Amino acid sequence: MTTAPRTDFTATRALFDLPQGVIYLDGNSLGPLPRAVPARLARTVTDEWGQMLITGWNRAGWMDQPRRLGDRIGALIGAEPGHVVLGDTLSIKVYQALASALQMTPQRRVILSDTGNFPSDLYMAEGLCRTLGDGYRLVTVAPEAVADALDDSVAVMMLTEVDYRTGRRHDMAALTARAHQAGALAIWDLAHSAGALPVQVAAGGADFAVGCTYKYLNSGPGGPAFIYVAPRHADTALPALSGWLGHEAPFAFDPHYRPGAGIDRMRVGTPPVLQLAALEAALDVWQGVDMGDLRQASLALTDRFIAGVEATCPDLRLATPRDHAARGSQVSFRHPQGYAIMQALIARGVIGDFRAPDILRFGFTPLYIGAQDVDAAVAVLAQVMAQALWDKPEYRIRAAVT
């Protein structure tokens, strides 16, 4: 049953600075600029760094920022307070979670993931297995085959909840329960979930969760990642990346590592203060946003886009599940000329992106996208397809970032 939304999405839209004439359907890759960020950054640079100099670590609260903002993100992903911390990049946080989880299941050797997982997660797992040797290996199966592949060899199930290419969503609670039954731990990558849909890491039983902030949380390019460790593991999970800020007493300058209490041990080195300041301002847009309303509105937008494209672009093949429960907040279509089609769209002000080999990817968030944007984007795409406007040599030239 749906209920009347309490969230004012017209008000949230006004909190973003979007360029005129652009329909931005790529916030699943890089969130747009919240209006409050430039002033907050300027204040941090001028008043804090400029005036306080090194005393800013204490006086401006820079050192506590990774934990403070961790709690604000924790509230968006259903985490217990005090169990999320910010820092580093998502790839690093994947490595940390994996290394800790493997140490907690020492009699087993397999990291189980799926073939749709983001390559960096798989590369991190491969690299860690190479470093550990001793029979450690990564096994990947099709996303729908994960549950059946959980046997007594699996130490850790490492999955991304929402597939970066297709938008297909795993059932976090069910798969985590299945992993636990099989004696394995569960690590969830929330890169395409945090800020995109309601997430319940605690209720879902996740052992570890990681995610980035530059997509649906709008922290800007290079914004830091986050890591969640379930309270039951927080004081036993051993960090493989034992940096000084994860030490029990960083300013004792002890020559030997002793892990800090709880989630603090997942800190590594100096926090990115400017990026955290941007994130802090960006997180203000969530005040008054109900995640249930967000999901309802996001599904309405993605349904509308799917219906519009299918009605007007017969050559595009839907890659995203139609079932609401089985998808995130993006819609993807396949076409052999996907790259050129996306360049033609971008040239006409509709910004999505392309993922090899043939995926056109469109991200939606009701925070700043409305039904009229969806209709306008469908109209442009329909024209690009009907008139083959993509069929130009300049649209085939691949940029470094697609």
Ligand X SMILES: Cc1ncc(COP(=O)(O)O)c(C=O)c1O
Contact 217, 27 (CB under 8 A): no
Cβ at position 207, least distance to ligand X in Å: 17
Q: What x-and-dash track marks residues 140-179 binding ligand X by CB under 6 A?
A: --------------------x---x---------------
- From CA 321, how far away is CA 311, in angstroms rounded? 17
Among 191, 119, 130, 184, smallest CA distance to 153 is for 184
Cβ at position 79, least distance to ligand X in Å: 18
User: Which residues fall within 8 angstroms of residue 334, CB to CB, at 6 or more apart?
Assistant: 316, 317, 318, 319, 358, 359, 360
Q: Answer yes or no: 165 catalytic.
A: no
Tell which positions 214-243 bind ligand X, by CB under 6 A: 225
Cβ at position 370, least distance to ligand X in Å: 25
Q: Which two tokens stand for residue 97?
A: 């979670």
- Applying CB under 6 A, which part among 14-22, 114-122, 244-252, 267-275 lies near ligand X? 114-122
Judged by CB, which is closer to ligand X: 90, or 341?
A: 90
Q: Is 91 an interacting residue with respect to ligand X (CB under 6 A)?
A: yes
Give the count of residues interacting with ligand X (CB under 6 A): 12
Judged by CB, which is closer to ligand X: 89, or 242?
A: 89
Q: Which two tokens stand for residue 136?
A: 């450690």
**Which one of residues 191, 331, 341, 345 is an interface residue with ligand X (CB under 6 A)?**
191
In the numeric block, the tokens 């798989």 are attached to 122
- Applying CB under 6 A, which part among 88-96, 232-240, 295-303, 346-354 lies near ligand X? 88-96
Handedness of CA 315, 319, 222, 295 (dihedral sign): positive
Cβ at position 330, least distance to ligand X in Å: 11
Q: Which helix (H) or strand (E) holds 154?
A: strand 154-160
**Which one of residues 33, 49, 80, 89 is an interface residue with ligand X (CB under 6 A)?**
89
Q: Are strands 84-86 and 225-229 parallel, antiparallel or unpaired?
A: antiparallel
In the numeric block, the tokens 């430039």 are attached to 38
Among 301, 300, 306, smallest CA distance to 322 is for 306
Q: Of 108, 165, 215, 267, which is the active-site residue?
A: 215
User: Which residues fall within 8 angstroms of residue 237, CB to CB, at 6 or more apart?
Assistant: 100, 101, 103, 104, 208, 229, 265, 266
**Which one of residues 118, 286, 368, 395 is an interface residue with ligand X (CB under 6 A)?**
118
Contact 301, 371 (CB under 8 A): yes
In the numeric block, the tokens 């040599």 are attached to 393
Q: Answer yes or no: 361 catalytic.
A: yes
Q: Of 361, 364, 373, 395, which is the active-site residue?
A: 361
Q: Answer yes or no: 16 catalytic.
A: no
Among 137, 135, 193, smallest CA distance to 163 is for 193
Q: Of 26, 189, 207, 353, which is the active-site residue?
A: 189
**Which one of residues 112, 212, 278, 281 is an interface residue with ligand X (CB under 6 A)?**
212
Q: Answer yes or no: 214 catalytic.
A: yes
**Which one of residues 26, 48, 121, 280 is an interface residue with ligand X (CB under 6 A)?**
121
- From CA 90, how far away is CA 70, in angstroms rounded? 14
- Applying CB under 6 A, which part among 38-46, 76-84, 115-123, 236-244 lies near ligand X? 115-123
Q: Which helix (H) or strand (E) holds 393?
A: none
**Which one of residues 63, 90, 283, 299 is an interface residue with ligand X (CB under 6 A)?**
90
- Applying CB under 6 A, which part among 12-20, 118-126, 245-253, 355-363 lies near ligand X? 118-126
- From CA 22, how far away is CA 313, in angstroms rounded? 21
Judged by CB, which is closer to ligand X: 275, or 337?
A: 275
Q: How many residues does the chain have?
A: 402
- From CA 344, how far away is CA 291, in angstroms rounded? 34
Q: Which two tokens stand for residue 379?
A: 């109209």
- Applying CB under 6 A, which part among 49-57, 89-97, 105-113, 303-311 lies near ligand X? 89-97
Output the CA–CA distances (angstroms, integers) from residue 355 to 119, 164, 342, 350, 388, in the order listed: 12, 9, 10, 16, 20
Cβ at position 90, least distance to ligand X in Å: 3
Cβ at position 273, least distance to ligand X in Å: 18
Cβ at position 181, least distance to ligand X in Å: 25
**Which one of residues 15, 18, 80, 120 is an interface residue with ligand X (CB under 6 A)?**
120
Cβ at position 160, least distance to ligand X in Å: 4
Q: Answer yes or no: 215 catalytic.
A: yes
Tell me the three state secondary structure of residue 333: strand
Residues that bind ligand X (CB under 6 A): 89-91, 118, 120-121, 160, 164, 189, 191, 212, 225
User: Which residues are known catalytic residues?
Assistant: 118, 189, 214-215, 361
